[in-house]
Amino acid sequence: MTLLAPASPSVDHDTVAATPVLELHVPTALDRLRRLRAVLPATAVHYAVKANPHPALLRALAEAGASFDVASPAEVRACLAAGARPDDLIYSNPIKLRADIVESASLGVSLFVVDSPEETHKVAEAAPGAAVLCRIVTSGDGSDWPLSRKYGCSTGEAVDILRLADSLGLDPAGISFHVGSQQRDPSAWDAPVEASSRVFATLRDAGLRPWLLDLGGGFPAAHEGPGGTSAPELGAYGAAIRGSLRTHFGRRVPRTVIEPGRSVVADAGRLVTSVVAVVHRGGTRWVYLDAGVFTGLVETLDEAIRYRLETDASGPTGPCVLAGPTCDSADVLYEEQPVWLPLSLAEGDHVVLNSAGAYTTCYSTVGFNGFAPLPTELMT
Amino acid sequence: MTLLAPASPSVDHDTVAATPVLELHVPTALDRLRRLRAVLPATAVHYAVKANPHPALLRALAEAGASFDVASPAEVRACLAAGARPDDLIYSNPIKLRADIVESASLGVSLFVVDSPEETHKVAEAAPGAAVLCRIVTSGDGSDWPLSRKYGCSTGEAVDILRLADSLGLDPAGISFHVGSQQRDPSAWDAPVEASSRVFATLRDAGLRPWLLDLGGGFPAAHEGPGGTSAPELGAYGAAIRGSLRTHFGRRVPRTVIEPGRSVVADAGRLVTSVVAVVHRGGTRWVYLDAGVFTGLVETLDEAIRYRLETDASGPTGPCVLAGPTCDSADVLYEEQPVWLPLSLAEGDHVVLNSAGAYTTCYSTVGFNGFAPLPTELMT
């Protein structure tokens, strides 16, 4: 059962309308991979498959030597099919179906993230002898899409969990954390790196040999920030993280990995839509596009992620509400903080959402209201 | 291109795990259809296909004489395949792709909803001679899932739009409105019925002959309301609406239709999940299920819809946060207002979400994070 292929069907020009479509430029993703490696040269890059599992993208990343961050057997199989080795994978979902651990271990996966004693016992039973990272909680301050309290434990709990792992015959490999998606503050890694260093020191004092620190994702794409600001350059993140590692681990910096998804693939995608209608409602201009919340644009909920827009209309601009094509009233992209688009914008014009390569095709519904999932067209 | 079939694949027991699954009991939906007809005997029932487009459900409803509310050519085709006639369909999406109007008209659809002059011109060009309903805006007060300002115009604009429709050779059939989904106040229909009666009177004074009033959806399913309350019985809705029609239209009550989705199919579905893990995080019990926001439970966002829960565990209960299986931190069902479940609940136990037949399978993602769309199992 391969679930990932239909997530981003390739466009067949004989049967699918020209829009909406995600134009995916894989070379841009490879450039972003190279840039992440350049700013963190001693750190392995595990691409977070959930951001965009297109098979051509996974293949290109695997060929370029990337590793992968996976969260289900379907993602494991997609990576292996793309040419990755099982050792290239971190199963980073802290809560796992027992059957999924068994299946992934049978496929060769040997490194799992946990964040509770319960899950540590489960991994010990379902994948005996595997290595585990323990995820600690972070504040999420400074990110556009902050993570909830769904995952992560305290440093004290992490020590106990990794000692438990050791006692259960698992390899207590180290710590993982996540500073929140589209993180705009390069110094956000400092506190969890410091916290991790304390866990490492305590474990070493106890005779364990932790060896891996998973710095998570959160590196930004070129979305519009609060007040139209943009995020710092990746170089600032590399410098800040390298500095934190030196400061808190000194000469005993462990192996490190990062798990970028958005920062690898978001800027590689342009979501091309067409204007269905422009309607004036009580002094407000409403622009309806042929893609919306149910065809991939879930991250506009609460207007958290703001895509940079381009249109083929021109002339003076004005504010408008942006909405999707389904008859669901929740299918509105930006209303509280309107977008500015040309006043000449009309039915049939294209509106392009930039940096839309991540968390779009994979978030599409199966076809709510009869509107097809967002397809992908590979650009050369 | 049939988009609706994959929205609710039937379970093949050889390849699909037992949970999560939507158990759909079509006879219950037929009972609800009969009940709606009993409380509004003079009103035609157009089932809102978007709520759940399972082919077996559409077939049974069509056989029982139901009509349908559709919003895309794929939904038109699904209804025709289920045995409906084109005359049984109202295309109720007020904003439509021009190509979708052309395609639907070619399939025989002859009644479209509009709410702007722009869209009226579009229908006149793409489906010459069709009938149109003009959607007016309502407050949405009293509903669990209030509609935004995305659709609807004022009564003054409705008069102008229907007169425009007449001048463009369309049949200015009447008015539609929607009081908000899972509406708990049977009197919510009164104000828009009164407003509609004023539009009808003005149009009749101008020599037009409006003949149809679309009372929309909003009839409740048995979700848990604020403070654990339940919605009034359907009979109260029928009585209130019949009273409003008599009061405001007197002896000239037009033909009426309703467009229920949730109230027909929600109570016909049970979403059966399994517990993936129970974890204690800083004094809070987190229960992780194998279905979540990305596998159909979108309506738990902002905790708007609260499903009644059942488990096969027993004994004393306590509060817990309920979360889904993906590694996405947004995949949390109920956190602000925790649910109460047995303290003995453990990995592998079943948790059933009742009244989950509407807006679940159709809201599933294509397989985010490698977790399959929610399948449907037909129960007898």
* Residue whose tokens read 């379902």: A126
For residue B329, give the nearest of A49, A71, A150 by CB distance.
A150
Closest among B217, B269, B219 to B53, alpha carbons compared = B269
Whether residues A276 and B97 touch (CB distance < 8 A) is answered with: yes
How far away is chain A from the Cα of B251, in angstroms, using its nearest Cα? 33
pLDDT of residue B139: 73
CATH class given for the domain over B26-265: alpha beta
Whether A371 and B365 have beta carbons less than 8 Å apart is answered as: no
The residue of chain B with its CA nearest to that of A79 is: B370
When CB atoms are compared, the residue of B277, B279, B369 closest to A75 is B369
Chain A CA closest to residue B284:
A149
Cis ω for the linkage preceding B338 (within 30 of 0)? no
Residue with tokens 């990794």, as numbered in its chain:
A162
Strand ranges in B74-184 using DSSP code E only, listed in sequence order:
89-91, 111-114, 131-135, 143-145, 171-176, 181-183
To 5 degrees, how large is the angle CA B290–CA B277–CA A153?
120
| pLDDT of B11 over the 80 cut | no
**Percent of chain B clearing pLDDT 70 (strictly above):** 92
The arithmetic mean of pLDDT across residues B112-135, rounded, is: 98
Q: Which of B118, B323, B373 sits opposite A150 (nearest CB)?
A: B323
Q: Which residue of B has its CA nearest to A294?
A: B363
A368·B154 Cβ contact <8 A: no
For residues B3 and A368, what is the distance between their CA atoms, to the nearest angstrom? 9
Report CB contact under 8 Å: A7, B366.
Answer: yes
Contact A71 B327 (CB under 8 A): yes
List all residues 6 or more positions away from A310 whose beta carbon is below 8 Å from its beta carbon: A351, A352, A354
Percent of chain A whose pLDDT exceeds 70: 91
| DSSP structural state of residue A306 | B
List all residues 6 or more positions away from A328 whose beta carbon is below 8 Å from its beta carbon: A293, A294, A368, A369, B50
> Rounded CA gap, B194 and A342, in Å?
39
Coil, strand or helix at B148: coil
What residue of A is the nearest CA neighbor of B118? A279
Out of B301, B363, B368, name the one closest to residue A362 (CB): B368
pLDDT at A35: 96
Q: Does B371 sit within 8 Å of A367, measured CB to CB?
A: no
Is residue B103 a contact partner of residue B124, using CB atoms and an 8 Å limit?
no
On whether the A267-378 domain is CATH 2.40.37.10, my answer is yes
The answer to whether the Cβ–Cβ distance between B365 and A363 falls below 8 Å is yes
Which of A148, A276, A370 faces B329 most closely, judged by CB atoms?
Answer: A148
Res. B249: pLDDT tops 60: yes
pLDDT at B121 over 80: yes
B48-66: string of b/e by CB count within 10 Å (b at 16+)?
A: bbbbbbbbebbbbbbeeeb
Indicate if the pLDDT at residue B67 is higher than 80: yes
Mean pLDDT (chain A, rounded): 92
Share of chain B above pLDDT 90, in %: 83
- Token representation of residue A326: 């389904």
Can you list the positions of beta strands (E) in chain A? 21-24, 43-48, 67-70, 89-91, 111-114, 131-135, 143-145, 171-176, 181-183, 212-214, 255-258, 269-281, 284-289, 309-311, 317-323, 332-342, 350-353, 376-378
Q: Do A6 and B74 touch (CB under 8 A)?
A: no
Residue B30 tokens read as: 């037929």
User: How many cross-chain Cβ pairs, A to B, lie less than 8 Å apart?
Assistant: 213
**Per-residue model confidence (pLDDT) at position A144:** 64
Residue from A301, A329, A359, A371 to probe the interface with B (highest B Cβ count within 10 Å): A329
Q: Residue A5 above 60 pLDDT? A: no
Task: Kindly report the nearest CA distance between residue B185 and chain A, in angstroms.
Answer: 20
Q: Do A71 and B369 touch (CB under 8 A)?
A: yes
Task: Check CB contact under 8 Å for B116 and A279.
Answer: yes
pLDDT digits (tens, 9 = 90+) for A130-170: 999 999 998 766 666 556 689 999 999 999 999 999 999 99
**Are A72 and B371 a contacting pair at CB < 8 A?**
yes
C-beta atoms of B370 and A71 within 8 A: yes
3-class DSSP assignment, residue B379 = coil
Instruction: Answer yes or no: are the C-beta atoms of A255 and B95 closer than 8 Å.
Output: no
Chain A: give the shortest CA distance to residue B41, in Å: 27
pLDDT at B16 over 50: no
Residue A320 and residue B26: Cα distance in Å, rounded?
43
Write out chain B residues lying below 8 Å of A118, CB-based.
277-279, 347
Strand partners, A43: A256
What single DSSP character describes residue A18? S
**Domain-by-domain residue ranges, chain A?**
26-265, 267-378
Tell me how far the alpha carbon of residue A174 is from its chain's centroid: 22
Model confidence pLDDT, tens digit, residues A20-60: 999 999 999 999 999 999 999 999 999 999 999 999 999 99
The helix or strand, by DSSP H or E, that contains position A37, with its residue range, turns out to be helix A26-39
User: Would you state the pLDDT for residue A282?
Assistant: 83
- For B358, the closest chain A residue by CA position comes to A368
Q: Would you say B313 and B346 are in contact if contact means Cβ atoms under 8 Å apart?
A: yes
Please tell me the predicted confidence (pLDDT) of residue A305. 86
Contacts of B16 in chain A (CB under 8 A): 1
Q: Which two tokens stand for residue B71?
A: 């919003």
pLDDT at position B230 is: 77
Chain A residues in contact with B286 by the CB 8 A cut-off are 150
Which whole number is the average pLDDT over B289-293? 97
- Residues of chain B in contact with residue A146, where contact means CB-CB under 8 angstroms, are 329
Return phi, psi of residue A63, to 5°. -60, -35
Of B16, B78, B370, the CB nearest to A75: B370
A69-128: pLDDT as tens digits: 999 999 999 999 999 999 999 999 999 999 999 999 999 999 999 999 999 999 999 999
ipTM of the complex: 0.92
Residues of A in contact with B370 (CB under 8 A): 3-4, 49-50, 53, 70-75, 78
Q: Tell me the residue length of chain B.
A: 380
Which secondary-structure segment (H or E) carries B341? strand B332-342
First to last CA, chain A: 30
User: Three-state SS for A51?
Assistant: helix
Cα–Cα dist B335/B338, whole Å: 5
Is A8 a residue whose pLDDT tops 80? no
- Amino acid A16 reads V
DSSP B372: P
Single-letter amino acid, residue A170: L
Name the one residue in this structure whose structure tokens are 């585990």: A132
Residue A366 has pLDDT above 90, yes or no: yes
* Cβ neighbours of residue A143 closer than 8 Å, sequence gap 6 or more: A179, A180, A181, A182, A183, A184, A185, A188, A218
pLDDT confidence bin for B301, thresholds 50/70/90? confident
Residues of A in contact with B95 (CB under 8 A): 276-277, 279, 288, 323, 325, 327
Helix (H) or strand (E) holding B26: helix B26-39
B275-281 average pLDDT score: 96
Task: Give burial (CB, 10 Å; 0-12/13-18/19+) of B177.
Answer: buried
Task: Decide the pairing of beta strands B171-176 and B212-214.
Answer: parallel
Report whether A244 contacts A193 (CB < 8 A). yes
Whether the per-residue pLDDT at B12 is higher than 50: the answer is no
Chain B positions touching A286 (Cβ under 8 A) are: 150
In degrees rounded to 5, what are phi and psi of residue B243? Answer: -65, -45
A325 interaction partners in chain B (CB closer than 8 Å): 93, 95, 97
Distance CA(B9)–CA(B377), nearest Å, equals 8
Rg (CA), chain B: 22
Q: How far is A42 from chain B (nearest CA, A)?
A: 26
Burial A117-141 (b: 16+ CB within 10 A, else e): bbbbebbbebbeebbbbbbbbbebe
| pLDDT higher than threshold 90 for residue A230 | no
- What average pLDDT does the structure give for chain B? 92
Question: How much is the pLDDT for A9?
Answer: 42
Could you say which of B150, B294, B370 has the minimum Cβ distance to residue A74?
B370
* Closest Cα in chain A, distance from residue B175 (Å): 17
Interatomic CA distance for residues B82 and B182, integer angstroms? 26
Instruction: Report the DSSP beta bridge partners of residue A144.
Output: none
Q: What is the DSSP string of A99-130?
A: HHHHHHHHTT--EEEE-SHHHHHHHHHHSTT-
- Tell me which of A70, A90, A150, A303 to substitute to probe the interface with B (most B C-beta atoms closer than 10 Å): A150
What does DSSP say about strands A350-353 and A309-311: parallel, antiparallel, or unpaired?
antiparallel
Place of tokens 């049977």: B186
Q: Out of A11-20, A127-136, A244-253, A329-338, which region has the weakest mean confidence (pLDDT)?
A: A11-20
d(CA B248, CA B21): 46
CA distance A97 to chain B (A): 5
Q: Three-state DSSP class for B34?
A: helix
Nearest to B277 among A72, A119, A294 (CB): A119
pLDDT at residue number B143: 64
Cβ within 8 Å, pair B362-A364: no
> For B96-225, where are the alpha helices, taking DSSP H only?
98-106, 117-126, 155-167, 190-205
Position A227 scores a pLDDT of: 63
Over residues A240-275, the pLDDT tens digits come to: 999 999 999 999 999 999 999 999 999 999 999 999
